[in-house]
Amino acid sequence: MVGMDSYMNAYLDRRMKNLIQDWDLATENDLGDFESRLRAIEETTKQIGSFETSAEIKLENLEQRLLRLKEAKR
């Protein structure tokens, strides 16, 4: 029965792997580095926020320059 046990174990392992993928479940390995992945995401969002702020300032400056050019053209 050793052959049957190993076959069943392999079958169950495959089925569990498929279930985890199909249902997008977290595994123990996924949770192991969760905090470091979360910190990386938080850092990226800070960088995006900084970029948005600087882009808004640049856009406002460009809009002001455009208005001045339009007024000078008149």
Task: Give residue-wise pLDDT tens across range 60-74.
Answer: 999 999 999 999 987
Distances (CA, A) of 23 to 13, 16, 58: 15, 10, 44
State the pLDDT at residue 54: 95
**37 and 13 inside one domain:** no
**21 and 39 inside one domain:** no
Task: Give residue-wise pLDDT tens across range 13-55.
Answer: 999 999 988 998 888 888 888 888 899 999 999 999 999 999 9
**69 and 40 inside one domain:** yes
User: How many structural domains compose the chain?
Assistant: 2
State the pLDDT at residue 24: 86
- Structural domain boundaries enclosing 11: 1-32
The identity of residue 57, as a single letter, is I
CA dihedral 32, 38, 40, 41 (to 10 degrees): 140
